[in-house]
């Protein structure tokens, strides 16, 4: 069991490093979004995909380490939950896993926050461009149509604005 705990601890530290790389990538992504650097955004997207693949590989290794010590975890890569992994560790060894677990939770929280910020930034930028193109195309001068059951009651079609967002 001692060997499995050491392996698990080592894998969690590797996972922490990957999450730190992901946070660094999100920081660079923010700058690329602000600068509208599409080439950098594509490179960062490839890097993030590689990091996610590495994280999934580590999840497999963690699950294998649990299985080797006959812990019935009933998880796979998709349903992986670090809190459940930590709950399987006996009390005498759980202190060694606690610090990496807290670090991972904090990093995941930061990643979620940054991702949400990027989504808001992109949506606001697209909304601004949509309004700008609408002004240029003259859509702002026309009356807004009134809809009932998906049909326009005014009989006029609204100017086609170039940017749309699928819902």
pLDDT digits (tens, 9 = 90+) for 45-81: 999 999 999 999 998 888 888 777 767 677 777 778 7
Residue at 151 is within a domain: no
Residues making up the chain, counted from first to last:
167
Question: Is 25:47 a contact under the CB 8 Å cutoff?
Answer: yes
- Count of domains forming the chain: 1
pLDDT digits (tens, 9 = 90+) for 16-27: 999 999 999 999
CA dihedral sign, ordered 122, 124, 109, 37: positive
- Could you tell me the residue range of the domain that residue 13 belongs to? 2-112
Find the mean pLDDT for residues 76-97: 77
Which residue, 66, 41, 145, is CA-closest to 58? Answer: 66
Model confidence, pTM: 0.72
* Residue with tokens 């606690």, as numbered in its chain: 98
Contacts of 167 (CB under 8 A, 6+ apart): none
Residue at 81 is within a domain: yes
Residue at 127 is within a domain: no
Residue at 42 is within a domain: yes
């Amino acid at each position: 069991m001692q060997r499995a705990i050491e392996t698990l601890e080592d894998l969690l530290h590797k996972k922490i490093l990957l999450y730190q790389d992901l946070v660094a990538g999100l920081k660079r992504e923010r700058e690329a979004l602000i600068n509208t650097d599409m080439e950098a955004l594509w490179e960062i997207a490839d890097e993030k995909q590689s990091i996610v693949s590495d994280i999934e590989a580590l999840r497999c290794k963690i699950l294998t380490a649990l299985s080797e010590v006959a812990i019935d975890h009933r998880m796979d890569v998709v349903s992986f939950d670090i809190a459940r992994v930590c709950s399987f560790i006996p009390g005498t060894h759980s202190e060694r896993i606690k610090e990496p677990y807290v670090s991972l939770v904090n990093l995941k929280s930061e990643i979620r926050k940054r991702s949400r910020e990027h989504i808001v930034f992109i949506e606001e930028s697209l909304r601004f461009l949509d309004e700008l193109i609408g002004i240029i195309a003259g859509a702002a001068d026309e009356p807004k149509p009134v809809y009932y059951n998906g049909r326009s009651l005014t009989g006029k079609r609204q100017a086609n604005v170039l940017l749309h967002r699928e819902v």
